[in-house]
Each structure stands twice: as structure tokens, then as C-alpha cells.
Structure 1
Amino acid sequence: MGAGDFDLTTDELRVVVRFASDCAQELLPYFEAVAPEDSRPREAIDAARTFADGAPRSNLQRTAAFASHRAAKGVSDESAQLAALACGDAAAAAYLHPIAKASQVGHILRAAACAARVTELRTGTTDVNTVGVLAGRATPQLIEILRRYPAASPGSSRLSQLMNALDSAIRGRN
């Protein structure tokens, strides 16, 4: 291991995947309303849940993640795009690396940031409570895992800003 790196158990990866898939699952209807014939985001959620529920991590999660991300490119509705991205991110979370880099925080929080952004798009407002509600879903174990990584960079995109807000809200919990 390099300086600043750490161990990450399979059970801890399952905690991360469960959090990400819970956030992504509720977005799936936005994608399916636009592209009901495209099952790739649903397959990504299924792959994530398969791992979270105890199956070994396999190429299933990786290929489902890539497929769901490609599905996002095939729709023009932003909520549908974010839903497909979140589903892919949930499956990809199984491949979170125990490397002390802020870029890894996306594997933990990007699906939740997508959920926050979809809420903004659907309500037409920036609801500060949305970040709090999503952060409130973080289990003590997820909080401990997140705190091993450097804080997320604020970035310039709205999704990056929401991820940074989620990161701060979760890290601030006791």
C-alpha cells in the first residue's frame, strides 16, 4: 500500500454499494419513463444489489455499470440521464479503491448527488433539505468509510457541488 492508503473489506464495499443503489433505485422511474425498452439501468441496479446482498464481486457489476452509463448518453432528458448515471454508479461502487484520493469519493456519493440534482430539476428549486435527507441515510459504517478519504473537491458542475455538499453533511454527522 502507498502512503495514505488503507484496507477496505468486502463487507465495507457492500455498505457503499447498498447506499449508492438505494439512492439510484428511486431514480429509475425517471429513466424508464423516457426509455421503457432500455433495461440497462435496471440491470445495473440488479447487479449492484446482487453484490450488496452477498454474491461475490464480478465482471457483472463492471459491465452493467458501463452499459448503464452508455444508456445515459442515449436519452436527452436530464433527469433520465442522471438516473442512468446513478444506476451505473451504484454498480461501479463495488470497485471503490482503498486509495486516499478525493476522486474515489465519487464512487460513494455520486449516485446520491444525482438524486439531489433530479430533485432540483423536478421541483425547480434548490432544496437544502434534500442534501440533509440523503446525508441522513448514511449509516455509521458508511460515514466511517467516507472519512478515510480526502474530502470531495467542490468542482464547477452542479453535480460536483452537490456531491461536495453531501460529503460535508455526512462527514459532519456524529
Structure 2
Amino acid sequence: MVLHIYHAAVGEKEFQFSTEINRLTPELYEADVNKAVEEVSSTILEQLTGEDAMCCTCKTAPATRLLHHTMLFAETFPPRVEDLPQPLCNSENCEVVAKANYMMDMEDATAAQGRPSPNGCFRCHKGANGVVMAAPLLRCSRCKVAKYCTAECQKADWRVHKQVCTPGEVVAEGTRK
């Protein structure tokens, strides 16, 4: 077990806790991170106020839970877990849209840094984390960010993607202005 700093930010509020995380295997790491997230989630949610206490998607209903996006920085000192929690209401649609927004943001950020896509196909995730595909991923013709392995995956994802898809002027491979 290694002592890690757990850091999360929601709006202007920041949260930091110490937690023990086992890094022997990816499974143990994931279990320990999930346990840490579960332990702090209600505390974070209780301390949110104003706009931060509302659902990040519909912005009309109070948040009742957090959707967590954790990243491990094991090589830093001290090692840390960064979390980008999104406040959500009970709507399943709000969760789907929040996940899609997060994927779009991560795609923009990694493309701007010249790194491979963490997402791969936005529907089935083929080609995620730089896995080489036989054929290049197809880009959404409107936003130029969302990527799909086939036209079928793109069509199947449109109900969700159209809620976050905005036209953008491409300024670099995969990034928008």
C-alpha cells in the first residue's frame, strides 16, 4: 500500500484527502481508487453550493450523485489520484450526455498535446489508447472531434452525440477553435 493524495475539483471548490492505494496490479489499484471515491463522494456532494450543486448537464435539477473520472499520477511525489467529478441529477440522459461531454473534452485535450486518442471509437471504443486500427477512425463531419470505427457506430451514437456536437473550425488535428 502506498499513500496517495486524492485531489478533486468541482467548479471553484477543491478537495484533497490522503488515501492508501495498492499499486501491485491494475485490479487492486482500481478497487482501492473506487473505495476512496466512494468514501469521499458524499462529502464532496454535501459541500457543493450554488451552480456547482446543480446537475452539470440539465442545470435545473439538484445534483444527487457524482460521476467520477479518475487519473493516476503514480510517478509524481507524492503519488496522487486526480479526479474530475461531474455533479449529476437522477436522469439517465444527463449521465449519458455528461459522459459524452467528458469524452469530447478529453479528445480535444489529448489531440492538442499531440497524443493518441484515449477514446477510440466514441461508441464501441475500438482503437482506444492508441491501439492501431486497420482503417482510420471516421470523424464526425460536424464537430470534427468525435470518432467512429464504422458508419453504423456513428449512426447508433447520434442520439447522444447530437446533444454535445457543435460545429467547430479545425485548427489542428482533432482540435477546435
Would the TM-score normalized by the shorter structure come out above 0.5? no
Work out which structure has the larger RCO, using CA pairs closer than 8 Å and 6 or more positions apart in sequence: 1
- Looking at CA atoms only, which structure, 1 or 2, has the larger radius of gyration? 2
From the two aligned structures, give the one with the greater helix fraction. 1
Q: Could you tell me the TM-score, scaled by structure 2's length? A: 0.31
